[in-house]
Amino acid sequence: MKFRILIVLLFLLPIAGERLLGQANPVENNSVTTQQHQFSVFMDPVFGYGKDESAINFNSRNYWMGAAQSAPTDAAAWFNYYRATRYIAEGSAGFEELQADLDRIDQHLHANVPGTWEQLIVAYWNSNRNPEMFGSLERAYALRPSDPLSLRFMIGMEFLKGKSSLAAEYYSSWKESGDAPVETERYAYNVMQSLPQGAVIFTNGELDSYPLLYQLNQSGNVTIKVVGISFCSRAENRMALFTHAGLVLPNQDTVSPIDANFIARVAEANPGKKVYVAATCGGQLLREISGQLYCTGLAYRYSEEPLDHLTFLRNNVGTKMNLSEVGEATGSQHRFDVNYADKLEMNYYLPLLLAADSYSDAGNSTRAKELRTKARSIRIRAGYEEPIRDEGLSDE
């Protein structure tokens, strides 16, 4: 059975990060501290969207904008003003319209509180991961080595440098901080089980890239390479990631938009490479190549030629993956794990049913029923009352 993409099942990594930021380098008797706690929750659009994100970020931005303008040297107020504005920009279609505000905040911090953690982090953040600004990030990390945001950016820096083992070490520290959602790590383990040796997988963003780097490092698997799509907007970063993955850029093009034919162009420029796309990548990236994608679990193999993938899929899903906690209630206190795991787990739905069909065809009706029951529990947990695809439970 050939996999054809069902757009409804492909979710951009739906993770909402909830942060509680205490005031950095607090100024005694500062007027903003008394109400600060109610405006220190931010919904990070890098992790996904839903419910209250926009309202929280707009309220936070309005508060911190006033606090910042009344205290030009309050680094924390200006940082929180930047952060809320950045999240509004990333969560909308109007990023360029807000870029002037972000630049102004960046410039203000540089002029008024140079060398503070807040100024150094914003300088790097506002540069769109410019390698020339790695020094700014490293100085910020030296000031606050246990800060979750410092650690998260350090993971990305080492990823861009091609130092996956160091990225994994920073990920471990990030996880210890309590800020990294554990559900993504379990999910990444099963992504790893969906891939063969020597694969190159295109991921969506930070939270389907970082835990996968960690899992690959933990397993000692150095042959699977990761390319994060969201890291490729800057030309030098795109070139670096392709080089680290052993890929040739199509026509050495470092600046063209990553459009619906990007993966096809990459595969054509790299004959013999096993090119995969993570299930967390969006439908717009994959819509034009759905006829050339074959499901192997939580990843999809691109192939111009027909590919017999069902035995591989059945072994990955039915044997190699750890499905014990998939579809079960999550006990974590992390917002992502509690509220968004169901959406992320919908990426299991189709692979489970395809593997079940394959088991059924092979005469193993017991295993087929187990996988179909698991798929149904995932669907119900995610809020879909009716089957999206024939689940076949009445046939077993």
Mean pLDDT (the chain) is 85
What distance, in Å, lies between the first and last C-alpha atoms of the chain?
19
Helical packing angle, 75-90 and 117-125, nearest 10°: 20
pLDDT tier, 15 (very low <50, low <70, confident <90, very high otherwise): very low
Cβ neighbours around 104 below 10 Å, total: 12
pLDDT tens, position by position, 119-175? 999 999 999 999 999 999 999 999 999 999 999 999 999 999 999 999 999 999 999
Domains of the chain in start order, with CATH, are 7-12+181-395 (no CATH), 36-150 (1.25.40)
Edge-to-edge order in the sheet of strand 225-228: 225-228, 199-203, 274-278, 299-302, 293-295
CA atoms within 13 A on the CB side of 96: 0
Q: Quick check: helix, strand or coil at residue 164?
A: helix
> What is the C-alpha to C-alpha distance for residues 97 and 95, in angstroms, rounded to an integer?
5
Q: How many residues belong to the chain?
A: 396
Percent of the chain with pLDDT over 90: 60
Q: For the chain, percent helix, then strand, then coil, each to nearest 5?
A: 55, 5, 35
The model carries a pTM of: 0.87
pLDDT at 77: 93
pLDDT at 6: 37
